[in-house]
A = this chain, B = another copy of it.
Amino acid sequence: MKHLRLSLIGFGVVGQGLAELLVSKQDLIKQRFGLEVSLVSVANARHGYIYKEAGLDIPTLLELAASQRPLTDHPGVKRWQHTLDGLRATDADVVAEATATNLRDAEPGMSHIRTALTQGMHVITANKGPIALAAKELLALAQQHGVQLRMEATVMAGTPVLSLLREGMAGARVRSLRGILNGTTNYILSAMASGREYAEVLAEAQAQGYAEADPTTDVEGYDVVAKTLILAALAWGHTLKPEQVLRQGITTISKKQVHDAMHEGKRIKLIASLGVVSDVGEAPLEARVEPLVLPLSDPLACVDGVLNAITFQTDTLSQVTIIGPGAGRLETGQGLLSDLLAIAATLK
């Protein structure tokens, strides 16, 4: 039986999702993967970083979080006010970074990931900011320190898009890709396809928790831009800046436009696309995020509601499409879990 010590930074929806899976899947992980995981540290912004050499009790942590009590109420823990201090003072095999995404400077996730890698700890993350802004730099840092950095949960939650790209299709050269990468906007456009107005559907999505109070990040396409940057880095090893992505949101799409498209047997979707413009030199990529009118013969046209999808065009596999959930607590936790198991498979 292998034993893996995990540190979990960020104990919001995503961090708690992973923690829940570590409990509910404890037996499966032992039986199928010969692995025992002990959670040795947890941090959140409000209560700081707690550590227990012998392992924290996950049900206790989930209960504390559910009842809004400080994580420091967990018995027998050492505590640091600042996560970086705790990370530097303690040790783990793998750090799971699950703090909130910040697309401006990627903090505090960026510092957490850099610190963990530099100390020789593997990192798995669901945080789009650091990967969107600095995937190449962080992957190089990981390599330099002989550890792995995995980020399945940053694109389409636990739907295994990035493992498909990096491992499943290893050796294939991606020519281009197109995707529906945001659940909120796809939910809105799908609902508009049944004849409703944008504002009405948005209000409903906000009431149901599918859209945030300030929906700008989703509806203006910024979230999809971040995922597009991640895909550019992982499929082509190419660092794009956000402003290099042509971006148009869905806020100006009218009920009439959606209706007219339906009438022609088509669908309007918010599509991210990436493609090689030229094979000369360090191949420049064209990156776009925009609403497009798709015929029903397009595999992306029928992807509705909160489902997301990506179609890859490669040299050996003409066209490969993967469709799956794009968000959710356990769905995102699953992405972190598969990354954790991939790293565990390489440990002695």
276-318 of chain A: CB within 8 A of chain B: 296-297, 299, 302, 307, 316-318
Bound CA–CA A164/B321 (angstroms): 13
Bound CA–CA A29/B172 (angstroms): 10
Query: Quick check: is A320 within 8 A (CB to CB) of the other chain?
Result: yes
Assess whether B325 is in contact with A322, with CB atoms less than 8 Å apart: no
Bound CA–CA A337/B324 (angstroms): 26
Assess whether A337 is in contact with B160, with CB atoms less than 8 Å apart: no
| Copies of the polypeptide in the assembly | 2
* Residues of B contacting A157 in the complex (Cβ-Cβ under 8 angstroms): 317
* Residues of B contacting A342 in the complex (Cβ-Cβ under 8 angstroms): 167, 170
Give the most central of A320, A337, A342: most B CB within 10 Å.
Answer: A320
User: Which of B160, B302, B307 is close to A169, meaning CB atoms less than 8 Å apart?
Assistant: B160
Query: Quick check: is A163 within 8 A (CB to CB) of the other chain?
Result: yes
Assess whether A333 is in contact with B320, with CB atoms less than 8 Å apart: no
A96 to chain B, nearest CB (A): 13
Assess whether B164 is in contact with A334, with CB atoms less than 8 Å apart: no
Bound CA–CA A163/B322 (angstroms): 13
Query: Quick check: is A16 within 8 A (CB to CB) of the other chain?
Result: no
Give the most central of A28, A330, A338: most B CB within 10 Å.
Answer: A338
* Residues of B contacting A84 in the complex (Cβ-Cβ under 8 angstroms): none
Assess whether B334 is in contact with A325, with CB atoms less than 8 Å apart: no
Interface size on A, as a range, is 35 or more
Bound CA–CA A299/B308 (angstroms): 13
**Can you name the residue of chain B whose Cβ is closest to the Cβ of A157?**
B317
Where chain A touches its partner, the secondary structure class is mixed
* Residues of B contacting A171 in the complex (Cβ-Cβ under 8 angstroms): 21, 25, 28-29, 33, 334, 337-338, 340-341
* Residues of B contacting A28 in the complex (Cβ-Cβ under 8 angstroms): 171, 173
227-252 of chain A: CB within 8 A of chain B: none
Query: Quick check: is A67 within 8 A (CB to CB) of the other chain?
Result: no
**Can you name the residue of chain B whose Cβ is closest to the Cβ of A340?**
B171
Query: Quick check: is A218 within 8 A (CB to CB) of the other chain?
Result: no
* Residues of B contacting A307 in the complex (Cβ-Cβ under 8 angstroms): 319
Query: Quick check: is A331 within 8 A (CB to CB) of the other chain?
Result: yes
Bound CA–CA A333/B302 (angstroms): 31
Assess whether A316 is in contact with B333, with CB atoms less than 8 Å apart: yes
Query: Quick check: is A168 within 8 A (CB to CB) of the other chain?
Result: yes
Assess whether A321 is in contact with B318, with CB atoms less than 8 Å apart: no
A113 to chain B, nearest CB (A): 22
7 A-B residue contacts at CB 8 Å? A164-B168, A164-B322, A170-B341, A296-B302, A316-B334, A321-B324, A322-B323
Known pairs A168-B168, A170-B341 / 6 extra A-B pairs, C-beta < 8 Å? A163-B167, A297-B302, A316-B330, A319-B323, A320-B322, A346-B346
A-B complex: 10 closest residue pairs judged by Cβ atoms: A160-B168, A316-B334, A320-B324, A163-B168, A170-B341, A321-B323, A171-B337, A170-B338, A316-B330, A322-B322
